[in-house]
Amino acid sequence: MRNPFRTRLGEGPIPLPPPRPADQIGPLIEAVSDPLIVLDGYHISHANTAARTLLGQHIVGDYVRLALRHPAATAVIAGDENGPVTLSGLGGHDRVWELTGGDIRPGCRLLRLTDRSGARAAEQMRVDFVANASHELRTPLAALIGFIETLEDANGPEDAAARMRFLGIMAGEAQRMQRLIDDLLSLSRIEADRYARPRETVDLVSIVAIACGELNDERVVLNLPGVPIPMEGDRAQLSQLVQNIVVNAMKYGRPDTQVHVTLTVEGETARLSVADEGEGIPAEFLPRVTERFFRVDAGRSRAIGGTGLGLAIVKHIAERHRAELDIASTPGVGTTVTVTFPVPRTELS
């Protein structure tokens, strides 16, 4: 059998590299972005910058159980198992870490912490999304089933008025389900394209003008430049973005007040602003208004036909077009939604 430690030409065994001295461990673990801890027995002999940032700059030389107080870490620290085990609360109540370990040599052990906060948040979002979508569909579906069962019994001539009223309610609930399904499909398509940069050259001015014109509402007041603003974009998605923002402003603005749609160019950016004169949004809710199905006033939103997905769709379209979305609101005064698009000077010349 061929000796794997001999060279191809048979000159002799390949010498093994000398063991690395302990003072080289520090530079090695610094090359890893995840928090790494080296244990000498139960004391921390080395910790990279990421570990010291997470657990404290003082941890080198400390007893490891003082740095990692989580009960689930005990077995990995002791070497009874290599993990992974989940640790929550390190570095913040919403942070989730995965701890793994392995022996370097007898009495010397390496611990690694991997941040799983993003994956856990994404999974929670998926669970919440399914639960919310199911709830939003269940409500109109229950109404439809109830009215259908009633109509099966109310089929005499004397029930004509009630039948017409029930059919009107059923039509409204069916349309609500249709709007929700359309928005879900739209959101799915936008997310599928989120990393595909649009390549079509479109005129942002004409898109805004046409999208607002299709709404056919005299409350919408346009303030647009007299010259085109060419940019790379998806025409259908940009039109949907404009309509979603303007329709939201029309729904939540006070009756008989105007919705101002303004488009300006500043340097290498084009700024679209839509301002309403409504009740506004309390400051504590502003960070959440682009979440799927989040509503400041759920009852009012459903009553005026909202699906709770309009601004979530806007956010994803803006992200695909590398645009910045900003929502400012003053309770009792109104809300202004601003989308700032990058428009290179070469496209404006």
pLDDT at 302: 58
3-12, 229-238, 271-280: the lowest-pLDDT one: 3-12
Residue 138 belongs to some domain of the structure:
yes
Neighbouring CB atoms inside 10 A of 33's CB total: 10
Residue 331 belongs to some domain of the structure:
yes
pLDDT at 140: 81
Residue 5 belongs to some domain of the structure:
no
Residue 2 belongs to some domain of the structure:
no
Question: What DSSP designation does 17 have?
Answer: P
Residues 169 and 231 reside in one and the same domain: no
Q: Which of 52, 85, 115 is the last residue of a domain?
A: 115
1-5, 227-231, 304-308, 309-313: the lowest-pLDDT one: 1-5
Residue 3 belongs to some domain of the structure:
no
Residues 80 and 183 reside in one and the same domain: no
Residue 1 belongs to some domain of the structure:
no
Q: Kindly provide the b/e burial profile for residues 259-296, where b requires at least 16 CB atoms within 10 angstroms of the residue's own CB.
A: bbbbbebeeeebbbbbbbbbbbbeeeebeebbbbbbbb
Q: Count of domains in the chain?
A: 3
Structural domain boundaries enclosing 68: 23-115
Residue 260 has phi, psi (to 5 degrees) of: -95, 120
Residues 246 and 326 reside in one and the same domain: yes
What is the band of 274 on the pLDDT scale with cuts at 50, 70, 90? very high
Residues 110 and 146 reside in one and the same domain: no
Residue 11 belongs to some domain of the structure:
no
Residue 15 belongs to some domain of the structure:
no
Question: What DSSP designation does 253 have?
Answer: B
Supply the CATH number for residue 132's domain: 1.10.287.130
Supply the CATH number for residue 342's domain: 3.30.565.10
pLDDT at 9: 46
- CB 295 within 8 Å of CB 309: no
Question: Rounded mean pLDDT of the chain?
Answer: 83
pLDDT at 297 over 70: no
Q: In the numeric block, which tokens belong to residue 61?
A: 């030389």
What is the band of 301 on the pLDDT scale with cuts at 50, 70, 90? low
Residues 139 and 33 reside in one and the same domain: no
Residues 280 and 147 reside in one and the same domain: no
pLDDT at 307 over 80: no
Q: Is 107 exposed, middle or buried (0-12, 13-18, 19+ CB in 10 A)?
A: exposed
Residues 216 and 187 reside in one and the same domain: no
pLDDT at 210: 96
Q: Which of 170, 192, 214 is the last residue of a domain?
A: 192
CA distances from 266 to 95, 113, 128, 203, 327 (A): 39, 45, 39, 16, 19
- Determine the length of the chain: 349
Q: pLDDT, tens digit, for every residue of 50-84?
A: 999 888 888 898 899 888 888 888 889 888 888 89
Residues 214 and 317 reside in one and the same domain: yes
What is the band of 338 on the pLDDT scale with cuts at 50, 70, 90? very high
Residues 175 and 305 reside in one and the same domain: no
Q: Which of 60, 81, 115 is the last residue of a domain?
A: 115
Supply the CATH number for residue 81's domain: 3.30.450.20
Which amino acid is located at 21 in the chain? P
Residues 126 and 32 reside in one and the same domain: no
pLDDT at 341: 96
pLDDT at 232: 93
Residues 51 and 124 reside in one and the same domain: no
Residues 92 and 215 reside in one and the same domain: no
